[in-house]
Structure 1
Amino acid sequence: MSFSDTGFSGKTAVITGAAGGMGLNIALDLVRAGAYVVLIDIKEPEIDLTAQGPGQAVMAKGDITDDVFINQVMNAAFTRTGRLDYLVNAAGVLWFDQDRSTEEVNLDAWDRIISINLKSMVITCRHALPLMRKTGGGAMVHVASVQAMRGDDKPQVAYQASKAGIISLSKTVAMEGAADGIRSNSLLPGPTVSPMQDRWVKDPAIQKATEKVIPLGRAGTTQDMTNATLFLLSDHASYITGTELVVDGGLLARP
């Protein structure tokens, strides 16, 4: 999908969770559309970022729950380009071994999952908002999950609670930024082939069983999620804020 007509060229974006999966896919598509993109993660991506052009990709390696680190990264991007146009919070963890039912969840894991998945969003938004105001506006997309909208008989309660929190916080940020032309929306992916679902690689039968209940008959891809994210960031979505875009192959529409 080409986004050459969406105005990303010359813009500045910050993407968390960008070393792999949908975060990296989003970052690379923005770079290919001409944006200056800062990728934040605790690890380096396994590709050559210098070969992605025509925009520029810059890696900022660090902890997204570190307020001082995020402030430095945001301000460095703004100092380098004179603007901050886009923020995508794509970082997230799903720990099947520790995050289980309400009675079984490891409470230390609960705290860490909430910190990575939700607190990090507070940190990035609090530093992005003033810089976007100086830019004259901007757009944010925060990756939640369809699991925030449904129960599960085999739940990961911390993951689901954190993703529900993202939706609520995004609406608040949308209200805080609207007068300054700053939009905030949530993306709700359904089951998606990505590093987070590496259990599917180990046991393809799990993926096949999941796909049987998806009306479109397949799991999503990181490109599906990237296409939706770039739409929400783009000027084509200039009248969309404070809402959620579900990208799940029809899963939530099932009776």
Structure 2
Amino acid sequence: MNINLTGKIALVTGSNAGIGRAIALALASNGAKVGVNCLNNVAQGQEVVAEIQAAGGEAVLVQADVTSIEQIDRLVSEVEQALGGTIDILVNNAGHLVQRVANSEMFEEMYDRIMDVNLKSTVFMCKRVLAGMKAKGYGRIVNMTSVAAHNGGGPGSSVYAASKAAVLTYSKGLAKEVAASGITVNNVSPGFIGNTMFHATFTTDAARTATITGIPLQREGTPDDVAGAVLYLASNLASYVTGETIEINGGMMMR
């Protein structure tokens, strides 16, 4: 059983670094043409595109803010025009804690930003690509949730956890809506993944050590661990899987 995505067009939001970068590279290495997206760090995004092209693949970078419906429309249009077709595979990877804020200190602008970057972007990215997927009777959507969706997250991340729980349940509802059109919708739920902006920004060395101690596999995950699950869900190996969530957490939370 081989994964062959030749002829498929994929779009991965937030794919200039970390988990998104690993996903973009994995999809490209298995034959997909890849739309790479970044918000700010264009140089990083260009490096991802260059790496894909150096390996013989096809990719394009589009800078866009996926919390903006207008920019979502432009992002998808530019990727489809550059890569020669409508999106077959959408990976909604863009997301962020933004800032650790206790609920007693939460303010409206912070709440809106967390919900926009994690939930709104997912909902409206899906909406934008569905017409093209329905027209061809095929589509793979993979949304990124989090172990925090199940356990509430760490201190100061209750709203982030709620936004990721919303993504999880949204995906289940959407999976039911679009199944008859040959479109699958699934989640990948990372746990403690190293080499990411999230933990570089919000996790102390002491917290990292304590977390790893509590993980049965006794290590932090890697972006490639997450990319492997996304690659499976994006492929025909998962053609009978929809509305599901794959947990990538080393056993720190088992359901």
Q: Is 1:36–2:33 an aligned residue pair?
A: yes
Partner of 1:75: 77
Q: Which runs of 5+ in 2 are unaligned?
A: none
Q: Is 1:84–2:81 an aligned residue pair?
A: no
Q: Distance between the aligned counterparts of 1:172 and 1:32, measured in 2?
A: 31
Per the normalisation by structure 2, the TM-score is 0.91
Q: Distance between the aligned counterparts of 1:35 and 1:131, measured in 2?
A: 17
Shift of 1:51: 3.6
Query: What SS class does the counterpart of residue 134 from structure 1 fall into?
Result: helix
Query: What SS class does the counterpart of residue 15 from structure 2 fall into?
Result: coil
Query: What SS class does the counterpart of residue 252 from structure 1 fall into?
Result: coil
Per the normalisation by structure 1, the TM-score is 0.91
Query: What SS class does the counterpart of residue 17 from structure 1 fall into?
Result: coil
Shift of 1:153: 6.1
Q: Which runs of 5+ in 1 are unaligned?
A: none
Q: Distance between the aligned counterparts of 2:157 and 2:20, measured in 1?
A: 22
Query: Percent sequence identity over matched residues?
Result: 34
Match runs of 1:71-150 below 5 Å:
71-79=73-81, 80-96=83-99, 99-150=100-151
Moved more, 30-39 or 74-83: 74-83
Of 6, 10, 19, the residue aligned with 2:7 is 10
For the structure 1 residues 130 and 153, does the alpha-carbon distance in structure 2 shift closer, same or farther, using more than 3 Å as the test? Answer: closer
Shift of 1:152: 4.7
Partner of 2:17: 20
Shift of 1:200: 7.3
Match runs of 1:1-255 below 5 Å:
5-43=2-40, 44-46=42-44, 47=47, 49-52=49-52, 53-79=55-81, 80-96=83-99, 99-152=100-153, 154-193=155-194, 194-199=196-201, 203-253=204-254
Q: Distance between the aligned counterparts of 1:48 and 1:107, measured in 2?
A: 35
Shift of 1:107: 2.7
Query: What SS class does the counterpart of residue 142 from structure 2 fall into?
Result: strand
> Quick check: 1:9–1:55 contact (8 Å CA) kept in 2?
no
> Quick check: 1:170–1:185 contact (8 Å CA) kept in 2?
yes
Q: Distance between the aligned counterparts of 1:200 and 1:113, measured in 2?
A: 15
Q: How many residues align?
A: 248
For the structure 1 residues 177 and 102, does the alpha-carbon distance in structure 2 shift closer, same or farther, using more than 3 Å as the test? Answer: same
For the structure 1 residues 138 and 153, does the alpha-carbon distance in structure 2 shift closer, same or farther, using more than 3 Å as the test? Answer: closer
For the structure 1 residues 204 and 105, does the alpha-carbon distance in structure 2 shift closer, same or farther, using more than 3 Å as the test? Answer: same
Q: Distance between the aligned counterparts of 2:123 and 2:157, measured in 1?
A: 22
